[in-house]
């Protein structure tokens, strides 16, 4: 029943894109209207509001308090339950809309872009009001989030005016009539509520998007969020639309599995989106050019390749196979994995050093995990095996040096899994 | 004073194979289920990752995955006239501990018992006459038949992805499989595993002697498999670290790989680990269970009320909890009355080692899986004429060498010095060119003086009497062991062994030498409440809202590993609960 409701809403939302909406106020829905609340729930899921605004396992949805790591310090998510004093119960609809789509708080101060208003601005006011209607239905929790831990000068919110001038383009998503409905729906979701670029688009030294490298992968929080353009070597060029949709729905596909922050995204957000929306996202991502780049392969007789092959066969091949193809949906295919060939090998090195647990979903409950090899392989050995798996099965990638592994090992020390 | 927890529909004692299967079935039926497990939570990739799980010293020698005898143990004696003493180091068997139970460390041999095994007394009496059986042999029929259990064997095999070659498909005998097996409704879910050189040569020799060898049915995957719950398994890598070890490679069927990831996602399932159930509580009539009492790791006592109690611990602990909870009449071997503790059995394992010319034979014994191997069933159950032999029972014979692990694998021919240069040379000579411990997996039938009761002297950490094992081999089993060992040795000679060392099971039952962990009986199923503790649905005759799962229900052992039958009985009991009991709670059989 639920899935039928959701898909009809998705179709409705898609259709809205092509309407020139009249004044929202003229036909404003009652805040308790089921259709609006349910649409808001779906958009809040697609926007993964809970990812930042709920502390996992605490049992207080949207009560905030979760620390969001940024390169500038930790930002603590606020309480967005309807509690009038500590939440957003006293906010007007305009306050809420301004926060989501303009990055301005109810008191007029500026939000930090850890709150992805830079993406949410693509939503319509109706979308945002639906989210508000949904958030009004969750239990109010009285709790004051602790203050942020940003150092000077980042603790000066007014400075965000300059940042916004540099990096924020306000405005609703405008469909491209030359493209398919799927493409437009996907573009709206990716650029808007799903805010994929927040992790996957490289950032400037001020944390703004490098728009020329849109969705070409970015380091964050001890991971490298990979290139999700159609780039054949480093991106999703080798994936079909179905591969992408299956990954977003189940956390697993024939090539790889979601771990780290993406595992959380799949569990909380994309696994709960409709198949149609996931296909739309995939259709859009497949249309994005990732640039061209064909590095020379590392020679098979390179000492790192020789050592790497021996290590690979000894400790990796039991699961991933001598041929690097693994087992679909269970052990990732390193031969086909673009993450393996990423320019930034942070994630690959991290998984070898720390191990990783893939996400469990209703459709793929196995949640297979890879063990840690930090105690077994020193920096040179990790570098050798990384270099080997980046070059053994075609579509080569540059060698990785031992000191890169050493730096990653140091960087990982204080991090929890 | 125990603190009382909110009532549940079902409380399950123990979260091994049987507890996990039952929890899955009853949560699917919509019931609110809690499992209480004595040992720790065990998650496959976390607890036994392939990066260090292959640690022979840690797991095989130091027993990492097993119950610690100082947590609780058993007392042991051979004869009723002796005084039993506590077992302080595990030897003859390995009591499991923790989530997954024995399903974590088993080899994953996944057999079905023979149709005649379930009607054993009737079958043997009809064929040989009642006087053929020893007077004190207490074997009996199970109250269920192979045909009753077939769909449930099938369910377990498909849950596990069992690898094998069918020998009897809907009554049609198939080449390459076991021609003696009962008819199966469909083939194994995955093809048989690949076999090593030693296994293959043994099968060739067996075939030349006129036998029909077949691959051992294996819960180690021959290929990737997705089970009906949507859980995925990977192909076995033949690493040789299976029995005694957990598999973090997703290659061995276990509760962790086949059930638990789905079970823990269900909102109507919960579990408490590191919590030991100390008794099953009953109401004042003694006819109805009201729940269980358990103690957590902080030594706090809790009461968990429930409408239905599932006892799913290791076989001997099932019997102990029944006795401590005063459910069912305790067995008295002198008066031959009572049922709880009756028909306790183990296994009668024998073996044959073969030593070959190292210039011609290289078996690479380290390439193996837990349930690898080729077997013959010509000498199992009543597949052969016992009339002239003077014994009953038998077992499968198999070249099932599961490893070449360095600490355990030092095969030397008999007569070699126990240490020094000659011993070292013999080990080096034969490591690759010998076959160790060929398996003669024989039945042990039940006897009046082999039983379980509460020890009069020794107590556990809670002050409860320990379970006392009184167990010895009888002539019937020793005769069978000698006969089967000779048959096995003939095959090893036919392979071309230079030297064959036979080790038939002899003498008194020895609690220090490993046989198997297949201890059975003590709370057996049957058709008559005077001779069984449970009815044919594993429901207590005395307390109808209590079901007792596991090998404790076997009236006697068969010549196979028990897990397939333990699991089939669990699915069978679950079906009875779902289809009959829940609609009309009460006794499912009126005696």
Q: Is A363 on the interface with B (CB under 8 A)?
A: yes
CA distance B4 to B433: 62
Separation in Å, CA of B57 to nearest CA in chain A = 18
Q: How confident is the model at residue A19 (pLDDT cuts 50, 70, 90)?
A: very low
Separation in Å, CA of A352 to nearest CA in chain B = 11
CA distance B154 to B156: 5
Separation in Å, CA of B42 to nearest CA in chain A = 14
Q: Which of B386, B441, B518, B590 is catalytic?
A: B518
E strand residue ranges, B300-414: 301-311, 342-345, 348-355, 374-376, 395-399
Q: Are A351 and A270 in contact (CB under 8 A)?
A: no
CA distance B396 to B207: 15
Q: Which two tokens stand for residue B71?
A: 């947590």
If one looks up domain A181-285 in CATH, what number appears?
A: 1.10.760
Phi-psi region of A216 (alpha: psi -120 to 50; beta: other; left: phi over 0): alpha
Q: Is the peptide bond before A153 cis (omega within 30 degrees of 0)?
A: yes
Q: Are A392 and A405 in contact (CB under 8 A)?
A: no
Residue A160: the pLDDT is: 85
Which tens digits make up the pLDDT trace of A128-146?
Answer: 999 999 999 999 999 988 8
Q: How confident is the model at residue A28 (pLDDT cuts 50, 70, 90)?
A: low
Task: List the one residue out of B218, B91, B67, B95 whose CA is nearest residue B519.
Answer: B95
* pLDDT higher than 80, residue B423: yes
Q: Is A91 on the interface with B (CB under 8 A)?
A: no
Q: CB neighbours (10 Å) of residue B55?
A: 14
Q: Is A313 on the interface with B (CB under 8 A)?
A: no
* B147-152 long-range Cβ contacts below 8 angstroms, 24+ apart: B147/B115, B147/B182, B148/B572, B149/B112, B149/B118, B149/B565, B149/B568, B149/B569, B149/B572, B150/B182, B150/B183, B150/B184, B150/B185, B151/B185, B151/B571, B152/B567, B152/B568, B152/B569, B152/B570, B152/B571, B152/B572, B152/B575
Superfamily of domain B3-67+80-581: FAD/NAD(P)-binding domain (3.50.50.60)
Give the global pTM.
Answer: 0.94
Residue A14: the pLDDT is: 37
Q: Is A364 on the interface with B (CB under 8 A)?
A: yes
Q: What is the mean pLDDT of residues B84-112?
A: 96
Q: What is the mean pLDDT of residues B334-339?
A: 97
Q: What is the mean pLDDT of residues B115-142?
A: 98
Contacts of A369 in chain B (CB under 8 A): 45-46, 49
- Cβ separation B234–A331 shorter than 8 A: yes
Could you tell me where in chain A the CATH 1.10.760.10 domains are found?
A: 303-412
CA distance B249 to B230: 17
Which tens digits make up the pLDDT trace of B357-409?
Answer: 999 999 999 999 999 999 999 999 999 999 999 999 999 999 999 999 999 99
Task: List the one residue out of B105, B141, B442, B411 whose CA is nearest residue B242.
Answer: B105
* pLDDT higher than 70, residue A23: no
Q: Is B228 on the interface with A (CB under 8 A)?
A: no
- Of A327, A355, A370, which has the smallest distance from its Cβ to B224's Cβ? A327
Residue A29: the pLDDT is: 57
- Of A318, A329, A360, which has the smallest distance from its Cβ to B249's Cβ? A318
CA distance A350 to A332: 15
- Cβ separation B232–A366 shorter than 8 A: yes
Q: Is B223 on the interface with A (CB under 8 A)?
A: no
CATH architecture of A303-412: Orthogonal Bundle (1.10)
Q: What share of chain A is helix, strand, coil (3-state, %, to 5)?
A: 40, 5, 50
Separation in Å, CA of B253 to nearest CA in chain A = 13
Q: Are A330 and B221 in contact (CB under 8 A)?
A: no
* pLDDT higher than 60, residue A20: no
How many residue contacts between A and B have a Cβ separation below 8 Å?
A: 59
Burial class (CB in 10 A: 0-12, 13-18, 19+), B335: exposed
* A319-326 long-range Cβ contacts below 8 angstroms, 24+ apart: A319/A370, A319/B50, A319/B234, A319/B249, A323/A393, A324/A389, A324/A392, A324/A393
Which tens digits make up the pLDDT trace of B19-51?
Answer: 999 999 999 999 999 999 999 999 998 999 988
Q: How confident is the model at residue A159 (pLDDT cuts 50, 70, 90)?
A: confident
- Alpha helix locations (H) across B455-538? 475-495
- Of A319, A365, A371, which has the smallest distance from its Cβ to B234's Cβ? A319
* Residue tagged 């709206």 (tokens): A188
Residue A394: the pLDDT is: 86
pLDDT over 70, % of chain A: 93
ipTM: 0.91
- Of A315, A327, A360, which has the smallest distance from its Cβ to B234's Cβ? A327
Q: Is A376 on the interface with B (CB under 8 A)?
A: yes
DSSP character string of B188-250: -SBPPPP--HHHHHHHHHHHHTT---EEPPBSB-SS-EE-TTS-EE-----BS--TTS--TTS
Domain chopping of chain B, boundaries: 3-67+80-581
Contacts of A327 in chain B (CB under 8 A): 224, 232, 234-235
The reply to whether B199 belongs to the active site is no
Residue B591: the pLDDT is: 78
Which tens digits make up the pLDDT trace of B252-269?
Answer: 999 999 999 999 999 999
Q: Which residue of A has its CA nearest to B251?
A: A319
Residue A7: the pLDDT is: 36
Sign of the C-alpha dihedral computed for residues B129, B132, B137 and B141 taken in this order: negative
Task: List the one residue out of A209, A369, A289, A232 whose CA is nearest residue B248.
Answer: A369
Task: List the one residue out of B110, B94, B92, B104 whose CA is nearest residue B375.
Answer: B110
Which tens digits make up the pLDDT trace of A266-289?
Answer: 999 999 999 999 999 999 999 999
Q: Which two tokens stand for residue A59?
A: 């049992």
Q: How confident is the model at residue A371 (pLDDT cuts 50, 70, 90)?
A: very high
Q: Which residue of B has its CA nearest to A366?
A: B231
Q: Which two tokens stand for residue B468?
A: 């006392």
Q: How far is CA B221 from CA A76, A138, B253, B369, in A?
A: 47, 47, 8, 9
Sign of the C-alpha dihedral computed for residues A340, A346, A350 and A353 taken in this order: positive
- Alpha helix locations (H) across A83-216? 93-102, 117-120, 125-135, 160-167, 181-191, 197-200
CA distance B75 to B93: 13
Which tens digits make up the pLDDT trace of B434-446?
Answer: 998 679 999 999 9
Sign of the C-alpha dihedral computed for residues A86, A88, A92 and A96 taken in this order: positive
Q: How far is CA A66 from the centre of its chain?
A: 17
- Cβ separation A368–B232 shorter than 8 A: yes
Q: Which two tokens stand for residue B551?
A: 């090998």
For chain A, the average pLDDT equals 90
Contacts of B230 in chain A (CB under 8 A): 363-366
Burial class (CB in 10 A: 0-12, 13-18, 19+), B233: buried
Q: Are B549 and B538 in contact (CB under 8 A)?
A: yes
Q: Provide the pairing of β-strand B465-470 with B451-459.
A: antiparallel
Q: How confident is the model at residue A31 (pLDDT cuts 50, 70, 90)?
A: low
Q: How confident is the model at residue A13 (pLDDT cuts 50, 70, 90)?
A: very low
Residue A121: the pLDDT is: 97
Q: CB neighbours (10 Å) of residue A192?
A: 22
Separation in Å, CA of B50 to nearest CA in chain A = 7
CA distance B293 to B395: 40
* pLDDT higher than 80, residue B85: yes
Q: Is A362 on the interface with B (CB under 8 A)?
A: yes
Separation in Å, CA of B106 to nearest CA in chain A = 20
* pLDDT higher than 60, residue A4: no
State the DSSP code for A211: G
Q: What is the mean pLDDT of residues B479-488?
A: 98
Q: What share of chain B is helix, strand, coil (3-state, %, to 5)?
A: 25, 25, 55
């Amino acid at each position: 029943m639920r899935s039928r409701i959701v898909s009809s809403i998705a179709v409705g939302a898609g259709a809205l894109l092509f309407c020139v909406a009249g004044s929202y106020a003229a036909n404003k829905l009652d805040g308790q209207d089921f259709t609006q609340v349910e649409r808001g729930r779906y958009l809040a899921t697609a926007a993964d509001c809970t990812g930042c605004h709920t502390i996992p396992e605490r049992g207080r949805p949207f009560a905030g308090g979760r620390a969001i790591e940024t390169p500038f310090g930790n930002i603590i998510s606020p309480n967005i339950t309807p509690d009038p004093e500590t939440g957003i119960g006293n906010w007007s609809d305009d306050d809420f809309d301004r926060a989501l789509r303009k990055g301005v708080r109810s008191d007029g101060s500026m939000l930090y872009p850890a709150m992805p208003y830079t993406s949410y601005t693509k939503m319509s006011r109706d979308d945002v009001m639906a989210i508000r209607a949904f958030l009004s239905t969750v239990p109010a929790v009285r709790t004051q989030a602790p203050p942020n831990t940003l150092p000077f000068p980042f603790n000066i919110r007014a400075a965000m005016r300059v940042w916004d001038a540099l990096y924020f383009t306000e405005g609703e998503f405008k469909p491209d009539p030359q493209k398919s409905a799927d493409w437009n729906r996907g573009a709206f979701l990716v650029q808007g509520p799903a805010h994929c670029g927040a992790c996957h688009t490289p950032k400037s030294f001020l944390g703004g998007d490098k728009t020329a490298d849109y969705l070409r992968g970015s380091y964050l929080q001890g991971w490298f969020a990979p290139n999700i353009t159609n780039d054949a070597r480093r991106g999703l060029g080798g994936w079909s639309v179905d591969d992408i949709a299956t990954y977003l729905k189940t956390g697993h596909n024939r090539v790889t599995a979601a771990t780290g922050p993406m595992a959380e995204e799949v569990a909380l957000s994309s696994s709960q989106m409709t198949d149609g929306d996931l296909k739309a996202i995939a259709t859009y991502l497949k249309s994005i050019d990732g640039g061209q780049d064909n590095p020379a392969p590392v020679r098979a007789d390179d000492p790192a390749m020789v050592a790497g092959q021996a290590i690979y066969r000894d400790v990796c091949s039991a699961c991933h196979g001598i041929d690097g193809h693994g087992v679909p949906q269970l052990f990732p295919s390193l031969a086909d994995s673009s993450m393996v060939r990423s320019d930034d090998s942070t994630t690959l090195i991290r998984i070898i050093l720390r191990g990783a647990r893939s996400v469990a979903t209703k459709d793929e409950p196995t949640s297979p995990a890879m063990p840690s090899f930090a105690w077994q392989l020193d920096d040179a050995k990790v570098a050798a095996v990384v270099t080997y798996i980046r070059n053994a099965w075609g579509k080569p990638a540059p060698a990785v040096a031992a000191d890169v592994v050493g730096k990653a090992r140091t960087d990982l020390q204080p991090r929890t899994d | 004073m125990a603190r009382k927890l909110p009532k549940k529909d079902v409380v399950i004692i123990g979260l091994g194979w049987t507890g996990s299967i039952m929890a899955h079935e009853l949560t699917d039926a919509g019931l609110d289920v809690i499992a209480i497990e004595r040992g720790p939570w065990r998650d496959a990739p976390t607890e036994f990752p392939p990066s260090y799980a292959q640690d022979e010293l840690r797991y095989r020698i130091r027993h990492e995955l097993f119950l610690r005898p100082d947590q609780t143990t058993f007392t042991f004696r051979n004869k009723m006239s002796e005084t039993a003493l506590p077992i302080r180091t595990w030897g003859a068997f390995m009591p499991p501990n923790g989530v997954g139970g024995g399903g974590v460390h088993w080899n994953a041999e996944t057999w079905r018992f023979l149709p005649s095994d379930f009607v054993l007394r009737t079958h043997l009496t009809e064929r040989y006459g009642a006087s053929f059986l020893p007077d004190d042999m207490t074997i009996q029929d199970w109250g269920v038949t192979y045909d009753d259990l077939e769909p449930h064997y099938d369910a377990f095999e498909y849950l596990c992805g069992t690898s094998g070659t069918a020998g009897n498909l809907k009554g049609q005998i198939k080449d390459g499989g076991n021609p003696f097996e009962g008819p199966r409704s469909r083939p194994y879910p995955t093809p048989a595993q690949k076999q090593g050189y030693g296994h293959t040569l043994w099968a060739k020799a067996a075939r030349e002697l006129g036998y029909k060898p077949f691959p051992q049915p294996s819960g180690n995957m021959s290929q990737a498999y997705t089970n009906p719950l949507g859980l995925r398994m990977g192909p076995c890598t033949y690493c040789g670290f299976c029995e005694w070890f957990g598999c973090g490679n997703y290659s061995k069927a276990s509760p962790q790989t086949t059930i638990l990831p789905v079970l823990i996602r269900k909102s109507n399932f919960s579990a408490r680990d590191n919590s030991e159930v100390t008794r099953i509580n009953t109401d004042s009539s003694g006819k109805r269970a009201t729940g269980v009492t358990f103690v957590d790791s902080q030594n706090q006592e809790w009461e968990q009320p429930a409408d239905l109690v599932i006892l799913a611990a290791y076989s001997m602990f099932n019997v102990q909890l029944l006795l401590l909870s005063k459910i069912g009449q305790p067995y008295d071997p002198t008066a031959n009355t009572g049922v709880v503790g009756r028909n306790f059995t183990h296994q009668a394992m024998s073996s044959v080692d073969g030593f070959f010319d190292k210039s011609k034979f290289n078996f690479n014994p380290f390439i193996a899986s837990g349930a690898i191997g080729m077997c013959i069933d010509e000498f199992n159950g009543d597949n052969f004429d016992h009339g002239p032999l003077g014994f009953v029972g038998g077992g499968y014979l198999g070249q099932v060498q599961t490893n070449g692990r360095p600490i355990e694998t030092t095969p030397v021919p008999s007569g070699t010095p126990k240490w020094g240069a000659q011993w070292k040379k013999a080990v080096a000579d034969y490591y690759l060119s010998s076959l160790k411990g060929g398996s003669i997996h024989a039945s042990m039938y039940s006897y009046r003086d082999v039983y379980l009761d509460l020890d009069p002297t020794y107590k556990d950490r809670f002050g409860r009497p320990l379970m006392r094992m009184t167990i010895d081999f009888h002539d019937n089993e020793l005769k069978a062991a000698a006969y089967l060992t000779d048959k096995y040795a003939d095959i090893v000679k036919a392979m071309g062994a230079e030297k064959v060392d036979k080790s038939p099971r002899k003498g008194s039952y020895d609690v220090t030498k490993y046989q198997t962990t297949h201890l059975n009986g003590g709370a057996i199923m049957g058709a008559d409440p005077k001779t069984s503790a449970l009815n044919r649905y594993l429901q207590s005759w005395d307390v109808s809202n209590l079901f007792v799962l596991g090998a404790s229900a076997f009236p006697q052992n068969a010549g196979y590993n028990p897990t397939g039958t333990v699991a089939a009985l669990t699915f069978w009991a679950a079906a009875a609960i779902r289809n009959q009991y829940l609609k009309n709670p009460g006794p499912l059989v009126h005696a």
